[in-house]
Structure 1
Amino acid sequence: MPDAMPANGPVDVVVPVYKGYGLTRACLESLLAASCRTPHRIVAVNDHSPEPALAAHLRALAAERCITLLENPRNMGFPATANRGLAWGEGGDKVLVNSDVLVFDGWLDRLAAAAYAAPDIGTATPFSNNATICSYPLPNRDNPLPADVSAAGLDALFAAVNAGRVTDLPTAVGFCMYIRGACLRDVGLFDADAFGAGYGEENDFCLRAARLGWRHVLAGDVFAVHAGGASFGKDKNPALARNLAVLAARHPGYLPAVAAFTRADPVAPLRRGVDVARLRRMHAAPLVVRLCHAKDGGTAKRLADEGRELAAAGYLPATLAPAERDAPDARVRLRVEHHDIPAELLYDVSAELPQLVADLQALGIAGVIFHHFLDLPPQLLDLPGLCGVPHEARIHDYGWFCPSINCIDDSGLACGEPDPAVCQRCADVNGSDMPHLTVAALHAQSRRILEGAGRVTAPSADAAGRIARRFPAARVEIVPHPEPAYAPPPQPAILPWDGETEIRLAVVGAIGEHKGYGVLLSMARDANRRGLPLRFCVAGFTRDDFPLFATGKAFVSGRYREEDAVDVIRELDCHAALFLSVWPETYCYTLTEAWRAGLWAVGFDLGAVGERIAATGFGWRMPPCRDGGTANDRLLALCAAPPAPGSLVP
């Protein structure tokens, strides 16, 4: 079994060296300069470096008795070079340190304490800016070093905030890896034959150690800088891919275990404490927390725009949303949108709600804005009261009173918002996006939030009216989303239509059922069946592209970046844009994108789409329907005899 106390004698800090004179020199200088109580010696192993200046520097340090130098007669690769250093000496504790790592005062003392925090711990790894599962501030990233604090100051902050704290890891990370002598004697050296030039050898070592009962931990109170890839350069990716395949073959459970660890993210509380400490040191502006789901779309765009508006007004914006988009649970992620500190603070609300509240209060929370509560733990709906701050609400859809969010019933069209008893029958038959709530409970929950809000805003009169009808005591304001200036789109040059020229229509966005996918497919099939001169060009993607392509009357561009939307629409070279949403949209950003691209709009007279076309006169409105033949006939009729701008065609 392992030693009960740190091994007698010095700890050997083993530094394999191949390339990178500047980084290696800085690494060794940091090791020599860092003051530590733990007796240690630095053992550099020169793997036949092709850089004469680097080899000369190592020999000079060895001549001055600053380091012990071992030199390979030929290049042996990282695992074999590391093994030579690990095997040197009296068999005590070792720390394997890459030659592109920087350490700071007390690093070895804290790392050794973590390694001896329990008798069965075999290895300890520090945090770093670039250390996969041990990376900070964001895991599995090569993070830039922070601007608000020096690297040494960040290490000191880790030491203060996470003093003595460790978290189990599925494997050590080899950039800086403390190995207890007993573990090394038990497991043996790295498998240099299997892992060649390097990458993955430390993971194989750790998995062999785990089979013998050894644990691997993250030392939560140590931070080291890691440049990454100094010795491998352009050869890194092929070596990594090859050795990952070796690992997967030897240890079939390894990659799934790492994936599960990444999803669970047990390291999050350690990162979180440092994030909060850094934010508090910044004397940040008053914090405004926005509660929302984690889905893409117009709500996400509005959150981003609002974040910039809040920052310009002197606030520090943050978003609190489910940690997992596709499998929400009790975990939430607080993204604090500070320009120097990209903090993502993870909380398990079932166990850490008091900690969340304490952290928000420590950061100076000034208010809460409810954007959406879909997929959020219900305890968060009490957040304003728990924090003692006021709240506001924003309307993006009708999840406030409709269990399916968009007011569509089994007819496939907007339901007309019947009384709650009918809504409950609809939810029972057609399903609900909030199955844990009855319609009555949903209404009661929303009434409490909306009627207690200091301000409720909706981006269209139609949306404001629907909310006000359900919650008359709520103070709902109409506040359209800000949008860039654009020239009014002209009427299509093809009009009046000659009855023969093909009419090309752009359908913009992510087209699911609520956005009219079924109507679009019906229109394309009808156009094919009757040989109508219509072509439907989707600028974006749909719930199922293949049936549309099969009609011979449709084209789908694929996903695009938000900033490219106008260019993508223009490249389709359409005459007008078609909006087929079968739910009463609250705003419709894609309508704005079509207008900015210079396209006239034809849309169903429903929700904000109908309201905005009528108000601007930049298009025409049609009665909502699901029958493609009827929709095509109306479309061709208005093209043949264009009505007044903004008109509702029969």
Structure 2
Amino acid sequence: MIERLPRRMIVYSCGVGDHDAVQLPGLLLALAGQGEEALAGGPQPVEVLFHDFFPISPSYTLLGKNSVYLGVPKPEADTDSAHHYMRPDGTWVDLAAWQAAWAPLMAAATRIVVFSPSSRDLVAASYPVADRIVVRPHVWKGDVPRILRAPLRSGAPVIGVLGNIGPQKGAALLQALSRDLARTGRARLVIIGHLAPEFGLAPPARVHGSYRLGDLPGLVERYGVDAWLIPSIWPETFSFTTHEALATGLPVFCFDLGAQADAVRAACAAGAPGGVLPHPVEGVVDPAKLVAAIRDAMPMSETDIREESR
């Protein structure tokens, strides 16, 4: 059916879950009238979108086998099984063979679309395509009310986490953080969203469940949220949740990787409260430093200002 189309454009969006993904680039090239099994009609344009990093590694989040991001995986230093792929017949494809399969599609692409400067750098570090990369952030139309919170005067701050949290979104990190906070009382933790069922938070940390953007002012008031933490441990390609959190006006913190850091760093440069924290290479965050950073980002009360001026 596609071969009958005299003009066509092939757009790759996401191939995660394909039954034999190492063959996918060749199939797309064939549909575009290119490659060894090219359909009739001559070469047609190809566009590659990076909603994840599947063309770089079978680990589409770029996390290694210990669920830690250690930078762009390189075939010449490939020792991590997370970046290997098992085909349906049981044979394994290493990272060099994986990227060799995807390289012709990347070379054929007339345009490679990424959604953040961070993604641009990661793609350019993996394939010689820098001249064809276009940074096109998603058009975010979220209607998030600005939220005003009184300055934190005393007691433990409440750290809010927005969105549904799975492994790559930092579920294990939050589980460990909740246990530390339960023991020390440095802060309280609440997830406005869901947590993957294989993880659990230590009380008094809470998981609220589903929410709507219009509910956020009431939920912030209900739980006393003082600041947001974006706990993702992979370099996100855009991160709608980060933009939602920033739109509330509350301090937002994330780790130094991916589009989430791009967004928070840009917002802080424009005067927004929050900050970018060191990337947790061991998959854990220092609770004391996190709480100290949150306190530093909170607006000062009149009492605090008078005491600091003495």
Corresponding position of 2:59: 404
Q: Give me the whole-angstrom Cα distance separating, in 1, the residues matched to 2:294 and 2:126.
A: 39
Q: Give me the whole-angstrom Cα distance separating, in 2, the residues matched to 1:411 and 1:456.
A: 30
Asked if residue 370 in structure 1 is aligned to residue 21 in structure 2, the reply is no
Higher Cα radius of gyration: 1
29, 32, 47: which one aligns with 1:384: 32
| Structure 1 unaligned spans of 5+ | 1-355, 645-650
Call closer, same or farther: CA 1:638–1:453 in 2, change over 3 Å.
same
271, 280, 295: which one aligns with 1:640: 295
Corresponding position of 2:302: none
Call closer, same or farther: CA 1:417–1:558 in 2, change over 3 Å.
same
Q: Please tell me the root mean square deviation across aligned C-alpha atoms, in Å.
A: 2.8
164, 181, 191: which one aligns with 1:538: 191
Q: Give me the whole-angstrom Cα distance separating, in 2, the residues matched to 1:422 and 1:511.
A: 31
C-alpha contact (below 8 Å) 2:251/2:297 kept by paired residues: no
CA deviation digits over 1:480-502, x for unaligned, max 9? Answer: 111127689578533xx4441x3
SS at match of 2:245: helix
Asked if residue 567 in structure 1 is aligned to residue 223 in structure 2, the reply is no
C-alpha contact (below 8 Å) 1:541/1:556 kept by paired residues: yes
Q: Which amino acid aligns with 1:368?
A: I
Residue correspondence of structure 1 range 576-615 to structure 2 within 5 A: 576-615=227-266
C-alpha contact (below 8 Å) 1:487/1:596 kept by paired residues: yes
CA deviation digits over 1:286-309, x for unaligned, max 9? Answer: xxxxxxxxxxxxxxxxxxxxxxxx
C-alpha contact (below 8 Å) 2:145/2:216 kept by paired residues: no
Residue correspondence of structure 1 range 175-254 to structure 2 within 5 A: none
Asked if residue 458 in structure 1 is aligned to residue 85 in structure 2, the reply is no
The alignment's TM-score, normalised by the length of structure 1, stands at 0.39
Asked if residue 512 in structure 1 is aligned to residue 166 in structure 2, the reply is yes
Q: Which amino acid aligns with 1:456?
A: I
Residue correspondence of structure 1 range 111-190 to structure 2 within 5 A: none
133, 149, 170: which one aligns with 1:476: 133
Q: Give me the whole-angstrom Cα distance separating, in 2, the residues matched to 1:621 and 1:594.
A: 14
CA deviation digits over 1:458-510, x for unaligned, max 9? Answer: 1111100110111123511111111127689578533xx4441x322221222
Q: Which amino acid aligns with 2:14?
A: H
Residue 538 of structure 1: how far off its partner (Å)? 1.5
SS at match of 2:54: coil
SS at match of 1:586: coil
C-alpha contact (below 8 Å) 1:545/1:556 kept by paired residues: no
SS at match of 1:609: helix
Asked if residue 357 in structure 1 is aligned to residue 2 in structure 2, the reply is yes
Corresponding position of 1:493: 150
- The higher relative CO (CA closer than 8 Å, separation ≥ 6) is in 2
SS at match of 2:164: strand
Q: Give me the whole-angstrom Cα distance separating, in 2, the residues matched to 1:387 and 1:590.
A: 44
420, 440, 463: which one aligns with 2:96: 440
SS at match of 1:547: coil
Q: Give me the whole-angstrom Cα distance separating, in 1, the residues matched to 2:103 and 2:214.
A: 42
Call closer, same or farther: CA 1:411–1:584 in 2, change over 3 Å.
same
Q: Give me the whole-angstrom Cα distance separating, in 2, the residues matched to 1:556 and 1:488.
A: 22
Call closer, same or farther: CA 1:412–1:373 in 2, change over 3 Å.
closer
C-alpha contact (below 8 Å) 1:579/1:603 kept by paired residues: yes
SS at match of 2:286: helix
The alignment's TM-score, normalised by the length of structure 2, stands at 0.77
Q: Give me the whole-angstrom Cα distance separating, in 2, the residues matched to 1:414 and 1:627.
A: 9
CA deviation digits over 1:268-322, x for unaligned, max 9? Answer: xxxxxxxxxxxxxxxxxxxxxxxxxxxxxxxxxxxxxxxxxxxxxxxxxxxxxxx
Call closer, same or farther: CA 1:519–1:600 in 2, change over 3 Å.
same
C-alpha contact (below 8 Å) 2:53/2:61 kept by paired residues: yes
Residue 613 of structure 1: how far off its partner (Å)? 0.8
505, 518, 523: which one aligns with 2:177: 523
Q: Give me the whole-angstrom Cα distance separating, in 1, the residues matched to 2:260 and 2:72.
A: 18
Q: Give me the whole-angstrom Cα distance separating, in 1, the residues matched to 2:288 and 2:180.
A: 10
SS at match of 1:577: strand
Q: Give me the whole-angstrom Cα distance separating, in 2, the residues matched to 1:431 and 1:463.
A: 18
C-alpha contact (below 8 Å) 1:406/1:584 kept by paired residues: yes
Residue 535 of structure 1: how far off its partner (Å)? 2.3
Call closer, same or farther: CA 1:489–1:464 in 2, change over 3 Å.
farther
SS at match of 1:591: helix
Identify which range, 577-586 or 380-389, moves more after superposition: 380-389
Fraction of identical pairs, as percent: 26
Call closer, same or farther: CA 1:397–1:595 in 2, change over 3 Å.
same
Corresponding position of 1:187: none
Call closer, same or farther: CA 1:546–1:522 in 2, change over 3 Å.
closer
C-alpha contact (below 8 Å) 2:251/2:298 kept by paired residues: no
Q: Give me the whole-angstrom Cα distance separating, in 2, the residues matched to 1:621 and 1:476.
A: 26
54, 60, 68: which one aligns with 1:413: 68
C-alpha contact (below 8 Å) 1:462/1:611 kept by paired residues: yes
Q: Give me the whole-angstrom Cα distance separating, in 1, the residues matched to 2:234 and 2:185.
A: 29
Corresponding position of 1:221: none
Residue 547 of structure 1: how far off its partner (Å)? 2.2
Call closer, same or farther: CA 1:387–1:582 in 2, change over 3 Å.
farther
Moved >3 Å (runs of 4+): 485-493, 568-571, 596-599
Q: Which amino acid aligns with 2:108?
A: G
Q: Which amino acid aligns with 1:508?
A: L
